[in-house]
Structure formats: C-alpha cells, structure tokens
Structure 1
Amino acid sequence: MKKILMIGTGGTIASEMTEAGLAPGMEGADFLRYVPAVEKLCQVDPLQVCNIDSTDMTPDRWLDIARAVEAGYDHYDGFVLCHGTDTLAYTAAALSYLIQGSPKPIVLTGSQKPIHMDITDSKTNLWDSFAVACDGRLPGVTVVFGGRILLGTRARKTYSKSYGAFSSINHPILGVVREGKVTPYLCPQAQARPTFYHALDQKVSLVKLVPGQSPDFLAFALEASHGVVVESFGSGGLPAGQAGGFYPLIQKAAAQGKTMVFTTQVQNEGSDLGVYQVGHGLKAQPGVLEAYDMTLEAAYAKLMWALAQTRDQEKVAELFETPVARDLLLGPMG
C-alpha cells in the first residue's frame, strides 16, 4: 500500500462558518473522516504546516511547504497538499521551482466549498488527488481540481465560484480522473532524484499597466525591488514607446543590476515584444526579459527563484529563459 503525506495549509476546504464569514478551522487530519475510502487506497500521514486563508499565503510559507516535502521525501510515495484556491496557482508555481524534477507526485488541491457541507466539491477533489498521488504516472508538481490534472506551472484560477475553477494556460491538461480512475494524457519527465532549492528573493513586485498610467508607479516598484514583472497590453510594450517616460526608468534600473520581466494581461497565447514598435525597443534593453507563454504566476515565482540564485543579470536571464516543468514552450530556448 502506498504511503502519502497529506500537508494541510487551511483554505476553503478547511473552513468553518464564523460570524465574520468562512475561516479556516479544521486540520488535515479531520478531512479523512469525510473521505473514509482513502484509507483503503493508501496509508495517510497528516502534517499541518499552517491553517490560513490562502489570501494570507506568503513566500515564507512556500518555503515551509517545500521543506516539509523535502523532510519527508524518502519516507513517502507521494504528497497531497490541501490549499485555498485563491493563491493555489502561485503556490503550485513556486513549488515547481523549489522542487524540480521530482519523480514522485506532489499534488495540490482544494475546494470551492468546505468539506463539512452536504453539497461540496471537496470530497471528490480530495479523493482524486490521492488517486493521482498513488498512481505515480504523473510526477512532479500538479494541480488536481474538478476532475482535471494540470501542470503546476500552467494552472490558473479562472472561475471564482464554479467547481471547475482552474484552467491550464497555454498547455494541454495532463489527464483526468473519472470515477476514481486516473487517465494520463501527458506524462512529465522527471529526474532520478529531485533538486530542492531553499531560497526565494522576496523583493520582486508586479506592475499592471492601465491606459494613462504614470511611469511613477514603475519607478516606485523598481526602487523597492530587485526585479519587477510588468503586465503589459496585448503582445507587449510600453505606452508611447521610448517617448513615454518609461524607458529612462528601465535603463537606470538595468544599470543598477535589476531585472524586469514583461508579460501580457491577455490570458492565452503569450507575449511577443517584437511585433509592435511600442515593444520592439525593449528586446534590446539589458536587464529586460520576456515571459512569452508563461503564466503570470509562473513568471512571478520564477523570477523570485532566479534572483535568489544570483543577481548577475546574464545568469538571471539564463535561469529564467531555461524551461522548468514545461513552463516555457515559446521562448528563446523553448
């Protein structure tokens, strides 16, 4: 019988009703009472890392989760992480960089309704996640939700209330779970042993462009950060091209050794800075990278991971542009 470590972090799946609304209260060990059939599938050991709303999730918590997986790695066949849905995609992306090449499944799941409710998606999601963790054909970090199996670097919450809350962005789903049976479509490659990383540079910020936005917002972010992700329009670019006041800020930040990653606000098909004049000049700028078909969540987490390894711009670029867990298919090295 397979041995699985179930890591609890809180979230809707663990929530109970309070006077101020739903708040995490149950621990992972309590979940098994609602899905007793899991005990016939595998041996489960629960571990509570935290018990928070996922809105309160932080990079320090990501490191705690990664350390918990590393500490138990040789003792378990797989891992199931119960997590709130709102920031689950960020956690899945971060873990994909902190734990690379794992031959064992590391499955993230959660629910849109608490597990104690009569009508809830939590029981199915939990069972499906244990089924994937025990199956073993889908290694590495995945998200199991609504009967679908998604890459950790490609998952995004696209519905705020529906049970099929997560979509796979710019990548096919890995498989499905139907009536308890796992059917893989794609099987990610894995190493013989995972590579664990133990640091993230938390001085990374995000600037989302809107029409008429002042460059002052980017200036503030660059001043406070080692790296900035810029969510630009369409294929990518900056307002008014080189005359808009943004370019001098980028040149100054690059000279200070800072890194900027340009992505797009458009969910599908990714960025391409070279298409339009407003973006073309950015491609020649030192310290400027492009996310291409990566999700925002993956680009943000990967920049934190890369900057924690080195502050050298060329080495950061090499790390960022090298695909990890199929996070980048259309880039310069994809």
Structure 2
Amino acid sequence: MTIVRLGYVAMSMNLQNSSPSQTMTVAQFQKIKDREAAISKLERIAISNLENCLRLLKYNAAHDIHFFRLSSRLIPLAGHEEVSDWKFMRPLKHILEEIGEFTKEHSMRVGFHPDHFVVFTTEQKEIIKQSIKNLMIHEALLRGMNIDREHRCVIHVGGAYNDKDRALEQFIENWGNIPVPIQKMIMLENDDTTFTLLDTLYLCEKLSVPIVFDYHHHLAHHEVPDWESEWERVVGTWSHSRLPLKMHISSPRNEKEFRAHADYIDDSMFMRFLSNVKGSVDEMDCMIEAKQKDNALFKLVEDLKKYPEIEFIDASSFKIH
C-alpha cells in the first residue's frame, strides 16, 4: 500500500484574477522616467503576485490539495542587472511570512521548478553565475516564507553541447562551485530530449541528490523502455530526504505531438505506473503537469474512483492497495 498525494502547477483554471506571474518587461520599466516610481510599480506587482499565491493556497486548502508548485515568476525582473539595487525582500516580508505560516498550518508541500535557463552542464562561467543567482532568489523566497529549503527546487540537467558524457562530467565539476545551501535545495529531473532516467540517476547517485522521475519524459526519451528495473535506484535517491518521493505525471497530447502535455491525465497510463510502484514507498507526491491545471487534478480524481484498488483519503489523496 502507498499513499499518493496529487498536486498541480502554479495557476488555477477556476480562481479568477489570481495570476501569481504578472510581470513587467525591462522595456516597460525603462519607459518610466522616475526610477523610484518604476521600482514602486515592480513592488506592487510582486505584492499582487504573492497575494494571489496566498489566494491559490487558500483555494487549495478548501479542496484538500496539499501539494503545489509555486510560480518562479513571483518577483518580476528579480536578479536582472537593470534592478540590481532593488532590495525586493524588504517590502515583501509580511506577505512571505503569511504564505509560509499558511503552508505549515495546512501541512502543504510547496516548491519551485526554475526555468530551463538554470544550467550547470556548461563551461561558460557567466551562465553558471546567472544560474546560481537565479537559485539564490528562490532560496531567499523560501527563507522569507520560513520554509525548509531542502529539496524544494527541481531543475533539469541542462544542455549536452554535442557531448553528453562530457556535459555530465561538467555538471559534477560545476557542482563544487555551487554554494551548499543551494545544493541542498536541488532535485534533478530526467528530460524528454537529452538526459534520460539513467543519465540523471548517474548524477543523482554521484551527488546525493533526489531524482524527480518524470514518467512521460521517460516514455518520450530513453535508452531502454524498462524503467521498472531502475525504480529501486529512484527510491534510493530519496533515502536521505525528509520529504516523500516526488514525481511528475503528464500525458502526451497525441501520438504526433508525443512530448507536448495534454489538457488532462490519461488515468489508464497513470494506473499502469502506480500498479508497478505501489508498496515500494509509504508515500509519494505526484505533480500533475497538464494544461488544465487544477481541472486536470479534479478530473483525474473522478477517473480514479472506478478502480477498486484506489481508496480515497480526501479530495486529492488516496491509498493504492
């Protein structure tokens, strides 16, 4: 028996005017002649994003959803050289603390998935520097929320630069230059074009980093289709984490666009996965990556109710026997 919690990504399809990813471009910022006014506008957008984030968390609590990916675009232009003097954490302190308190009160697991430009397979020092800077912003936000930062950021391995084996070794070489607090935040995910489950496991085992197994990515890109024989290794990477194993679930849009995410989750595909892993771990958190966000979660819950081996605990969590 395994307890499974379902989660979704960043935005609700039902909660109106609740985007946590409102932004301002550099060009828009530069058009405001008064720099103080421009910074004030950035702060208003950031506060609005965080207030909407809290609204989303309250919505999730009302629907018994305990697992949620925070938007990585909460703070517009954070880290950009144009606003390098902007101390954005100060005006956000109160709302960040409120978000953190709410997640603790409702036993929610939250984390981030920074964009693909966080790369550690490169030899270019400026890219590495910017990648670390990006992760430090995520670390600061989690610290502002008083959330334990360990294993809260999923990243992809990066680019292969026409030599995948060399890129893997470059990642290991660059790892030593990443500050330890940032190292502790990181989880690695297998991708759908370059670094397979086996590639990512190689790094995770070398560096003692948990792997976030993406089932759809594996189906789209693998050396051998048999992921089941590697599942014990996947579980092993989580042996030193205080959090349950985390994985991603999505479904292909269609055969032609196999890598693209569908609107909803194919329940039969998900059940094939679950039937292979049930009992291997006590708990598992499954992040739904689907175009219909929370609606995809609600539909999957309804679809799973037809399976006799599924026993629901609440509106988004269940036991599989």
TM-score (norm 1): 0.31
Which of 1 and 2 has higher RCO (CA within 8 Å, sep 6+)?
Answer: 2
Higher strand share: 1
After TM superposition, the score normalised by the length of structure 2 is 0.32
